[in-house]
Amino acid sequence: MRHGVDGRKFGRNTSHRVAMFRNMANSVIEKEQVITTVQKAKEVRRVVDRLITLGKSGSPASRRLAFDRTRSNDVVSKLFSSLAERYQNRAGGYTRVLKISERRWGDAAEMAVVELVDHPVLDRKRKVKAEGADEASAEKKDLAPHDPFNRFRRLFSGKSKVKGSARGAGSSASKGGAGRKTPASGGSNKSGGSSS
């Protein structure tokens, strides 16, 4: 019986589960918004809220404890500087879980966004390249003739399926790939197949 046992197991052993929560909490603190399943979001919310409470205390002992739980200097410095200032007047509830209407493609799991409350507007758009670099790459593309199979030629150039065999003439292997072993001459033929 599970009397008084708290938290979801997620089909993992203890060390795997702790590592998963540590990684997810670090991602939530660094990026301030993460998409995951609803159940994982509800569990990682508890971890993140406790870390932010540690950051608000500001003592050296709580800083050491936060590093022990996150194992990341960047996360600890953000917890004790910007997040501690942001949530100074808030008594708890530093994260929120918002369900997403689309389910995950592979297993149709319910998805959710776990994010920090009162976070600044996040710019998730791709960065635009500099104009000079863009023009130079366009000139190179115009000068080179277009070969649709060039990428595949570069991938498979000089590679052979059979190790140790040279390409072209002088190869001991047959064209079908790896060479077949033939039974030694003389004696009985035990190569299998039909006995005709």
pLDDT digits (tens, 9 = 90+) for 43-62: 999 999 999 999 999 999 99
pLDDT tops 90 at residue 85 = yes
- Which pLDDT score is estimated for 122? 79
- Which pLDDT score is estimated for 10? 96
Counting other chains too, the contacts that 171-177 makes at CB distance below 8 Å and 24 or more residues apart are: none
pLDDT tops 80 at residue 191 = no
Task: State pLDDT tens for residues 158-182.
Answer: 765 565 555 555 545 455 556 666 6
What is the residue type of 142?
A: D
Q: Which residue has the higher pLDDT, 153 or 80?
A: 80
How many CB atoms are located within 10 Å of the residue 65 CB? 16
- Which pLDDT score is estimated for 166? 53
CA distance 95 to 81: 17
Specify the pairing of strand 95-103 against strand 33-37: unpaired
CA distance 63 to 60: 5
Cβ-based neighbours of 145, under 8 Å, separated by 6 or more: none
Q: Look up the CATH superfamily of 14-116.
A: Ribosomal protein L17 (3.90.1030.10)
